[in-house]
A and B are shown apart, each in its own frame.
Chain A
Amino acid sequence: MADIALTNVSKSFGEVRVIDDLSLSVAAGEFVVFLGPSGSGKSTLLRMIAGLETIDSGTLTIGGRQCQALAPGQRNVAMVFQNYALYPHMTVRDNMAFGLKNIHMASDEIARRVNEAARILEMEALLDRRPSQLSGGQRQRVAIGRAIVKEPAAFLFDEPLSNLDAALRVRTRVELAELHQRIRSTMIYVTHDQTEAMTLADRIVVLNNCRIEQIGTPMEVYSNPASRFVAGFIGSPAMNFLKVELSGNDEAKLARLGDGSKVDMNIRVPASGSYELGIRPEAVRVSERADTTSGKATVVEHLGDRTLVYMQLADGTPIIAQDGGRSQVSPGDVVNVSFDTSELHLFDADGKTYHADRQDA
């Protein structure tokens, strides 16, 4: 395992500059997830580390060694592809051994590593099969096995679970987390699925438009999103965004929602005026009294442990509130809600973000 550092790297495809002066470091043994919507540059960044895309300028070090000019095979990293890319004409064993044979490793060492990887991934019985004789989940394992046998400095995964069905995806996710616990290798994992990012990552790198929006632990990006984009991208259902007018003095600010109701803010912002207020559905609680405001329920989703109430405020602003699992709310009801004011975020027009002071913070 090794640390990885990208320093001031840039990348253009023809005239289009997709990665511009980006720096990022990954600690040895860390599980880092690149999270972002499609086209945000996650794969490009990962492939630059792998060597499948050239780095136009800047440096890449892996384990302290400058790698930006090395061929992919010489960087000592292993990649797991989205479509697995298992060689269809080779058995599982040969698929795993291919990379080792190419560097002329002794055959007893190859056999040892292949058997070891098969043991770790519990697929000893599959070694003599062809990829076409395997299920999707098994192919996924072989793809990971092919990476493990290289004993690489780092593992690179590009959306490895996106071809699996939902149940298998959850199971494989857990297995990947276990694998990381066990072999403690550096792993970089690309996904657009925030659940995968939240559950697997030591740190998440949120990408948008080929720029880093935020780097932080899953809880940091969830609780203290660095930008309006991160706030909206992470969390399901998404954070509520409400246009507000801020008034009052420095100590006590008052936010006026579109429907005229007022919210006490314990956020320090430099100026009054127009802002966007962000609050997650779980901080908008259905309540007895209209502590904050009220609105009309349009859709009610019972999730078992909790209930999501999609509602409209008097001025038509949509907002999602949360209620207990045995909620009595039905569509058409007028519902009172109260905001948890320690869970408020403000976004100004320049992209600055302010978070509520929390008791625990």
Chain B
Amino acid sequence: MTADAARRANLVGALITIFTVICAVVWCFPLYWGVISSLKPEDEVVRPYIELWPETPTLRHYVFALTETQIGTWYINSIVTAVGVTILTVSSSMFAGYAISQLRFPGRRPLWWLILASFMVPTQVLIINHFVLMANMGLLNTWAGIILPQLIHPVAIIVYKQFFDQVPSDFREAAVMDNASELAILFKVYVPMNWGVTTALSIVTFIWAWNAFLWPFLAVTKTEMMTITVGITQVWDAFGVYYARQLTAATLAGLPVALVYLLFQRRVTQAITLSAGIKG
């Protein structure tokens, strides 16, 4: 490479770096703005110019959210429903993916096509049906009512099937020679050999269930049954909108997801790549 070419390559590299940094800033700014605004008194928030730092930082909105609203209950509802959705989705997908990948039974192909097809149907299309169904079953305003319709998650089955397909058949045969039952083969061989998939799927499913809004919003009318995403829409009072308060609630709602993300950063990226590969 000549010095000229090298310089040009450097220049291109630098431009790309600058571009990505700009994108990152553009993307991060609203987050930053939201958090910072939640630390400002209400009158500072509505000033017509941009202030990157609160003049008089205050935690009063946090105190308000934590003491005057039912945010504690909403947290519990969110945790219960998100964890429930995660455990049920991941475990059922594990079984379904294993059966479709490894077992030979009549109707295996049609079942697989059905799962692939359900992947094409957006949840919004079904939401009325879900509502009627849950209402008929008397499950509105219950945890079960929030959880059940969220269990339709074909991607997880597809991911498991793909990974189980890739396990060399030797392992299955060795386990069969070792007198292992199908359950033992699944839980002692296939799942442990693919722990990464299970953790990754659990994390994305959890984040996805935590952030769910539309369905919990429809399924719940009682304040004490709301999840946090729905609950934060309730932080207003008769005198109008309080931006700082709303942003405080939003920050509190996002906190667990941010924590999960920070703790399992690498796994999350892996999981997103996984499911993106499938969707691709």
Contact = CB atoms under 8 A, between A and B. Distances in A.
| Chains A and B are bound partners | yes
B25 interface: no
Nearest to B181: A102
B132 interface: no
A102 B171 contact: no
A270 B59 CA distance: 111
A99 B173 contact: no
Please classify the interface of chain B as helix (H, G, I), strand (E, B), loop, or mixed, using the class held by over half of its residues.
helix
Given A83-B170, A85-B173, A99 B192 contact: no
B176 interface: yes
A71 B185 CA distance: 15
A229 interface: no
B174 to A, nearest CB: 4
B193 A79 contact: no
B171 A87 contact: yes
A102 B178 contact: yes
B192 A98 contact: no
Interface string A137-156: 00000000010000000000
B2 interface: no
B184 A102 contact: yes
A260 interface: no
B136 interface: no
Contacts of B6: none
A50 interface: yes
A101 B62 CA distance: 55
A296 B80 CA distance: 88
B169 to A, nearest CB: 9
Given A73-B178, A88-B193, A98 B173 contact: no
B166 to A, nearest CB: 13
A72 interface: yes
Given A98-B180, A99-B178, A52 B173 contact: yes
B193 A72 contact: no
Contacts of A77: 177
A85 B193 contact: no
Contact of B178 (A82, A83, A88, A98): A98
Interface residues of A, number: 22
Given A83-B170, A85-B168, A85-B171, A72 B180 contact: no
B218 interface: no
A85 B170 contact: yes
A73 B179 contact: yes
Given A81-B173, A85-B168, A102 B189 contact: no
B7 interface: no
Interface string A254-277: 000000000000000000000000
A79 B180 contact: no
A140 to B, nearest CB: 14
Given A87-B189, A88-B193, A89-B192, A52 B176 contact: yes
Interface string B156-186: 0000000000001011011111111100100
B174 A85 contact: yes
Interface string A67-103: 0000111100111011101011100000000110011
A73 B177 contact: yes
Contacts of B179: 73-74, 99, 102-103
B152 to A, nearest CB: 31
Interface of A: 50-52, 71-74, 77-79, 81-83, 85, 87-89, 98-99, 102-103, 146
Interface of B: 168, 170-171, 173-181, 184, 188-189, 192-193, 195
